[in-house]
Structure 1
Amino acid sequence: MKFADLGLSDELLQAVTAKGYDTPTPIQAQAIPSVLMMRDLIAIAQTGTGKTASFVLPMIDILAHGRRRAMMPRSLILEPTRELAAQVAENFEQYGKNHDLKMALLIGGVQMGDQVKALNEGVDVLIATPGRLMDLFERGKILLTGCDLLVIDEADRMLDMGFIPDIETICSKLPAQRQTLLFSATMPPPIKKLADKFLSNPKYIEVARPASTNTQIVQFKVPVASSRVKRDVLRTILRTDNVSTAMIFCNRKTTVRELAKSLKQSGFSAGEIHGDMDQSSRIAELDRFKAGTINILVCSDVAARGLDVKGVSHVFNFDTPWHPDDYVHRVGRTGRAGATGRAFTLIAPEDAEAIENVEKLTGGKLEVYEVAGEGEAKPARAAREERPAREERPAREERPRRERAPRAERAEPAPKAEQAERAPRPPREERAPREERAPREERATRAEPRRESRPRRAEPAEAPSEAGEWNGPVPSFLGFSAL
Structure 2
Amino acid sequence: MTKFTDLNLNAKVLKAVVEAGYESPTPIQAGAIPPALEGRDVLGIAQTGTGKTASFTLPMLSLLARGRARARMPRSLVLCPTRELAAQVAENFDTYSKHLKLTKALLIGGVSFKEQDKLIDKGVDVLIATPGRLLDHFERGKLILSDVKVMVVDEADRMLDMGFIPDIERIFGLTPFTRQTLFFSATMAPEIERITNTFLSNPERIEVARQATTSENITQGVVMFKASRKDREATEKRKLLRLLIDAEGEKCTNAIIFCNRKMDVDIVAKSLKKYGYDAAPIHGDLDQSQRTKTLEGFRNGELRFLVASDVAARGLDVPSVSHVFNFDVPSHAEDYVHRIGRTGRAGRDGKAIMICVPRDEKNLEDVERLVQKPIPRLENPLGNAKPDAETAEAPAKKDDKPKRTRSRSRKSDTPPAEKAAETAVETQPKAEPKQDAKPEPVEQPAAAEKTEAAPAPDEQKSSRGGRDDKKSRGGRGRNDKRSGNDNRVVGLGDHTPDFIGLSFRERI
Judge same fold: TM > 0.5, yes or no.
yes
Secondary structure of the 2:72 match is: coil
Structure 1 counterpart of 2:471:
none
CA apart distance, 1:375 = 3.9
Q: Residue 236 of structure 1: which of 235, 238, 243 is its match?
A: 243
Q: Is this contact kept in 2: 1:243–1:314, CA < 8 A?
A: yes
Q: Residue 378 of structure 2: which of 355, 361, 369 is its match?
A: 369
- Partners of 1:150 and 1:42 lie apart in 2 by 12
One-letter identity of the residue aligned with 1:264: K
- Partners of 1:379 and 1:42 lie apart in 2 by 53
| 1:72 and 2:81 matched | no
Structure 1 counterpart of 2:293:
284
- Partners of 1:275 and 1:80 lie apart in 2 by 12
Structure 2 counterpart of 1:304:
313
CA apart distance, 1:384 = 4.9
CA offsets, 1:343-371, max 9 Å, x none? 01101111110100000111010001113
Structure 2 counterpart of 1:137:
138
Structure 1 counterpart of 2:485:
none
Counterparts of 1:197-216 in structure 2 under 5 Å? 197-216=198-217
CA apart distance, 1:271 = 1.0
- Partners of 2:338 and 2:347 lie apart in 1 by 16
Secondary structure of the 1:105 match is: strand
- Partners of 2:179 and 2:390 lie apart in 1 by 65
Unpaired runs of 5+ residues, structure 1, are 386-483
CA apart distance, 1:378 = 3.5
CA offsets, 1:320-341, max 9 Å, x none? 1000011110000001011110
One-letter identity of the residue aligned with 2:242: R
CA offsets, 1:252-308, max 9 Å, x none? 111000100000111111111011101111000001111111110000011111110
TM-score, with length taken from structure 1:
0.78
Structure 1 counterpart of 2:44:
43
- Partners of 1:324 and 1:380 lie apart in 2 by 35
Counterparts of 1:54-453 in structure 2 under 5 Å? 54-226=55-227, 227-228=233-234, 229-241=236-248, 242-371=251-380, 373-375=381-383, 378-379=386-387, 384=392
| 1:20 and 2:21 matched | yes
CA 355–140 in structure 1, closer or farther in 2 if over 3 Å, else same: same
Q: Is this contact kept in 2: 1:68–1:74, CA < 8 A?
A: yes
Q: Is this contact kept in 2: 1:251–1:322, CA < 8 A?
A: yes
Unpaired runs of 5+ residues, structure 2, are 228-232, 394-508
Secondary structure of the 2:382 match is: helix
Please say which structure displays the higher CA radius of gyration. 1
- Partners of 1:53 and 1:198 lie apart in 2 by 22
CA 58–381 in structure 1, closer or farther in 2 if over 3 Å, else same: farther
CA offsets, 1:64-120, max 9 Å, x none? 011110000000000000000000000000111000000000000110111111000
Q: Is this contact kept in 2: 1:153–1:182, CA < 8 A?
A: yes
Secondary structure of the 1:337 match is: helix
Q: Is this contact kept in 2: 1:225–1:378, CA < 8 A?
A: no
- Partners of 1:379 and 1:177 lie apart in 2 by 66
- Partners of 2:384 and 2:223 lie apart in 1 by 16
CA 378–15 in structure 1, closer or farther in 2 if over 3 Å, else same: farther
Secondary structure of the 1:110 match is: coil
- Partners of 1:297 and 1:378 lie apart in 2 by 29
Secondary structure of the 1:264 match is: helix
- Partners of 1:122 and 1:286 lie apart in 2 by 29
CA 381–365 in structure 1, closer or farther in 2 if over 3 Å, else same: farther
- Partners of 1:113 and 1:199 lie apart in 2 by 34
Structure 2 counterpart of 1:474:
none
RMSD: 1.5
Secondary structure of the 1:115 match is: helix
CA 380–160 in structure 1, closer or farther in 2 if over 3 Å, else same: farther
CA 383–365 in structure 1, closer or farther in 2 if over 3 Å, else same: farther
- Partners of 1:331 and 1:132 lie apart in 2 by 29
CA apart distance, 1:222 = 0.8
One-letter identity of the residue aligned with 1:239: D
Secondary structure of the 1:70 match is: coil
Structure with more helix by fraction? 2
Work out the number of aligned pairs and report it: 384
- Partners of 2:182 and 2:189 lie apart in 1 by 17
Q: What is the aligned-residue identity percentage?
A: 56
TM-score, with length taken from structure 2:
0.74
- Partners of 1:382 and 1:214 lie apart in 2 by 45
Q: Is this contact kept in 2: 1:103–1:123, CA < 8 A?
A: yes
- Partners of 1:365 and 1:159 lie apart in 2 by 27
- Partners of 2:20 and 2:298 lie apart in 1 by 20
- Partners of 1:109 and 1:208 lie apart in 2 by 36
One-letter identity of the residue aligned with 2:244: I
CA 14–119 in structure 1, closer or farther in 2 if over 3 Å, else same: same
- Partners of 1:382 and 1:27 lie apart in 2 by 57
Secondary structure of the 2:62 match is: helix
Q: Is this contact kept in 2: 1:149–1:178, CA < 8 A?
A: yes
One-letter identity of the residue aligned with 1:76: L
CA apart distance, 1:212 = 0.8
CA apart distance, 1:224 = 1.2
One-letter identity of the residue aligned with 1:16: V
CA 26–223 in structure 1, closer or farther in 2 if over 3 Å, else same: same
Q: Is this contact kept in 1: 2:226–2:385, CA < 8 A?
A: no
Q: Give the stretch that moved more between structures: 14-23 or 226-235.
A: 226-235
